[in-house]
Amino acid sequence: MRIKIHNIGSKFMRDVEAVLQHAEEYCIGRGVKLTPKRKRVLSGLIGSSEALSAYDLIDYCKKEFGDAMPAMSVYRILNFLEREKLVHRLQLANKYVACSHITCDHAHGASQFLICGECNKVKEIAISALAMDELQANVDSAGFRMAGTQLEVNCICEACAP
């Protein structure tokens, strides 16, 4: 799979480095370490405009860093990054995206992921507390319980729309 990078060039690399630096400081503050391999995997997610599987990230690390990581290592890294709230796992696709709030210093509400069905571009947006309360009420009245607050919506992005 070819990973689509947001921007190519030195500005893009500075942006990725800045996000990685912030993520590293965040991890230090939590008493955990963002190892070089964790940084490599996270950089692939930060640089991609679409969700990536563990195998996409294995290919990325091999191509960009010459690092042939075993699948189990990448899955452990992804579990760490998800636990530390640096990435999100898209449940329906079993793929991962970097959290769009990595560089924020405040808490965020529920995330909604807009996923283009044509090009697989993913965008994370926040859901208002009022909308979540209404959704919870609808779920409750249907006799169900929400297992989580993350929502994934199939969409068509502006670039792919007719």
Report the alpha-carbon distance of residue 57 to residue 61 in Å, rounded: 6
Domains of the chain and any CATH numbers: 10-98 (1.10.10.10), 111-155 (3.30.1490)
State the residue for tokens 């990435």: 87
Give the predicted TM-score (pTM) of the model.
Answer: 0.80
Q: Which structure tokens are listed for 80?
A: 């760490």
Q: What is the DSSP string of 42-57?
A: HHHHHHBSB-B-HHHH
What tens-digit pLDDT sequence spans the chain (162 residues)? Answer: 344 434 334 444 568 889 999 999 999 999 999 999 999 999 999 999 899 999 999 999 999 999 899 999 999 999 999 999 999 999 888 899 999 888 876 556 678 899 998 998 999 888 888 888 999 999 999 999 998 888 899 999 999 998
Report the alpha-carbon distance of residue 127 to residue 110 in Å, rounded: 6
